[in-house]
Every structure is written in structure tokens, then in C-alpha cells.
Amino acid sequence: MFRINRMTDYAVVLLVDMARKRTVRSAQQIAAETGVPLPTVSKIMKTLTRDGLVTSVRGAGGGYALGREPGVITVADMIQAVEGPIALTSCVEEAEEECGIESLCPMHGHWTQVNTAVRGALATVSLADMAADQPMFGVPAQ
Amino acid sequence: MFRINRMTDYAVVLLVDMARKRTVRSAQQIAAETGVPLPTVSKIMKTLTRDGLVTSVRGAGGGYALGREPGVITVADMIQAVEGPIALTSCVEEAEEECGIESLCPMHGHWTQVNTAVRGALATVSLADMAADQPMFGVPAQ
DNA sequence: GCATTACGGACTAATTCGGTCCCTTTTTAA
DNA sequence: TTAAAAAGGGACCGAATTAGTCCGTAATGC
Ligand code: SF4
Ligand code: SF4
């Protein structure tokens, strides 16, 4: 079951919500409207802020708003903000870990090709697409 | 760190190894040549056999061999064999789980688009590509 | 009959993930 | 000036998943 983790999914939900109501709103409001529990919203917003995907306003009356136009934020950006670099295995350049059998491994480097393809696919869909009212039937995904 | 899990990675390693030496070999031999621990090889082979990606021969002198031509096995196939259906979130059709906030969620259905794009990307690379001696520089991944 | 090898599943230790909580800092408004 | 509202940062814990091992059973060849 190849899947993104739940925090990332929620992050996208929150971003879509912000993309629709383009105004500064508190974490509490956003939590109430999306159904995501408040502490979780809070945690996710912190990480999204670090990457500049959302901007924050502190103090009473503050909150969060989208940091860039929805059209220029891709799904790849969102995933990377929450999960870190997209590195399918530990032998693609972006990964920081080391692989135990790397020396014997018969396909040193080939994963990079797959990794690039996947990242490319994730970059074809923007936040604006995700926030559209209707799923886009008939639009070729690749 | 968006990544496939280790078992899947190993599965691909084993398949690449089999794609190169096209003969029936025991799990023990394969383990020795790839560096993957024997019990793990054994476990992975079981699941790959279930999906027909490899064929098995029981009894003394038996072992495993590739079930189909390397050119027609895609990375998507390999991942699905080990991890089950590719379902980035629990609201794409292939997923069997249910999502708690599905009713409130503002992007019901949009993930399917992303999911399709990713699966498409994973299907562009075949086992033959992974088993090639040199990484394919200069070949556009998408 | 015996050695070899796959098959199926149970089991456990380790790791990661999801989620909560608390305290600090900033800002607004009474 | 004070109090309330909100984000920021990080520690923390229970739950779930994963990685890896092990065992007994079934099939096959010598
Ligand atoms: S070196 Fe081989 S086994 Fe290690 S991460 Fe890369 S592909 Fe996987
Ligand atoms: S319904 Fe919404 S929150 Fe649930 S899995 Fe789908 S996108 Fe994620």
C-alpha cells in the first residue's frame, strides 16, 4: 500500500482550505472548518510556515494565510514541506541515509531515474488543481 | 522523506539479479550474491511468487526464476506485488480503508488524479531498465 | 529414505507515526 | 497596564507499522 503519510494528506487538506478562503484565519477556525483536530493543525502549520508555503501572523487576531499563489504550489512542494526531500530509496542523491548493501547492489543509480519520474508526476498537479470544485475528468494526468 | 519501504527495495534488487542471471537458483544463492539476508530473501520470494513475477521450483535443486520477460515488468508491478495497490490516500478507489474526515474533506476525488500520475510514472520504468548496466543518462524520465 | 528446497504462517523487537501537551513570545484590545 | 488571543518551539507518549527471524510442513530429486 504505497501511500503518503497522514500528516501530509492533512497538510494538503489545510492548504486547499486556505486556497479557497483567501484570508488570515486562526488555526482554531481552520480546524473547525476542516475537521482536522486543532493540535494537529497547529503542528502542521508550523512546518508549512518553515517552508514559506503559508505565512503566519502572530498575536491576537492573527492566524495563517497562503504564502504563494495556489497555481505555483505543486503537490511535490507540499509533500516535501512535510516529509522532507523526495527520495524513494536511500541511494538517490537527495537521501541522507546510507544503505547497508550499497556496495553489492546491482542497480546503483537506477532508482534516481524512477525518483525523477515520480517527482515529475507530483509536480504536474498544483494546489489550484486540488482546490478546484470538480475533479478534472478528462484531463490526462501525465 | 517520501520513500518506498525497504522490503520493496530489496524485492527490486532481487528481481534485477534474476533478470541478469536467467536461471533457476536457490534462495540461498541469491542471498549470497546480493547481500540480502536469507530469511528476508525467502520472505520476499514468497510474495513475488504469489503475483507471478517469479516462478518457483520446489524440491532439491529447485529455486526461483523470473516469471516474465524483464521488459514487461514495470516498477509499478513490483511495488504492487510487495505493498499491494498503489493508493496514495485512503480516498482513491483502490484503497480499502476509510478516512475519518472524508465527509468534510474539501477535495474528495482530487487525489485520484495525483495517484494516476504517480502510477503512470512508475509504469514508465521496466525491470529491464533497472537491470541495465549503466544508468541511462540523458533519457528524459517523464 | 534422505537431503534439499520452497511454502505458509506465527512471532517479536525495533522503529516510526500520530497526536497531545506545555510553556514562551508576540500582538491586539480593553 | 493588563489580559486575552494567537503562533512558535519542542518534549513526550501510546499506538501502529515494519523488518526480520523462526518453525513446522510439503514437495522433489538422488
Ligand atoms: S543501494 Fe541498492 S539496496 Fe541500497 S537503497 Fe540503493 S537500490 Fe536499494
Ligand atoms: S477524504 Fe480528504 S482527508 Fe480523507 S484521505 Fe481523502 S483527501 Fe485525505
| CA–C1' nearest nucleotide, residue A55 | D7
Distance B3 CA to C4 C1' (A): 38
Q: Which residue has the higher pLDDT, B121 or A103?
A: B121
DSSP state of B70: G
For A15-54, the pLDDT digits (tens) are: 999 999 989 999 999 999 998 999 999 999 999 999 999 9
pLDDT averaged over chain B? 88
Can you name the CATH fold of A6-131? Arc Repressor Mutant, subunit A (1.10.10)
**Burial environment of residue A53 by CB neighbours within 10 A (0 to 12, 13 to 18, 19 or more):** buried
C-beta separation of A115 from A88 below 8 A: yes
| DSSP states along A50-69 | HTTSEEEE-STT-EEEESS-
DSSP state of B78: H
C-beta separation of B88 from B111 below 8 A: yes
Which of 90-119 (A) contact B at CB < 8 A?
Answer: 90, 95, 100-101, 103-110, 112-114, 116-118
The CA-CA-CA angle for residues B82, B84, B86, to 5°, reads: 115
Is a pLDDT exceeding 60 seen at residue A107?
yes
For residue A134, the model assigns a pLDDT of 61
pLDDT confidence of B1, banded at 50, 70, 90? confident
| DSSP states along chain A | -----HHHHHHHHHHHHHHHS-S-B-HHHHHHHH---HHHHHHHHHHHHHTTSEEEE-STT-EEEESS-GGG-BHHHHHHHHH-S--SSTTSTT--S--TTTTT-TTTTHHHHHHHHHHHHHHTSBHHHHHSSS--TT----
Is a pLDDT exceeding 70 seen at residue A79?
yes
Under 8 Å CB pairs connecting chains A and B tally to 158
Is a pLDDT exceeding 90 seen at residue B37?
yes
For residue A99, the model assigns a pLDDT of 80
Q: Which of A20, A88, A90 sits opposite B106 (nearest CB)?
A: A20
Number of Cβ atoms within 10 Å of the Cβ of A134: 7
How much is the average pLDDT of B112-137? 87
A77 CB within 8 Å of a chain B CB: no
B139 sits in which H/E element = none
For B41-87, the pLDDT digits (tens) are: 999 999 999 999 999 999 999 999 999 999 999 999 999 999 999 99
Per CA to C1' distance, which residue is closest to D29? B60
| Any ligand 2 atom below 6 A from CB of B111 | yes
Q: Which residues contact A132 (CB under 8 A, 6 or more apart)?
A: B110
How much is the average pLDDT of A77-83? 95
- All cell numbers assigned to A43: 503542528
What phi and psi, each to the nearest 5 degrees, are found at residue B3?
-150, 155
Is a pLDDT exceeding 50 seen at residue A140?
no
Q: Which residue has the higher pLDDT, A136 or B89?
A: B89
CA dist B21 and B78 (Å) reads 18
What phi and psi, each to the nearest 5 degrees, are found at residue A54?
-125, 155
How much is the average pLDDT of B87-110? 78
Return the best residue to mutate from A96, A111, A114 for the ligand 1 pocket (most ligand atoms within 8 A of CB). Answer: A111
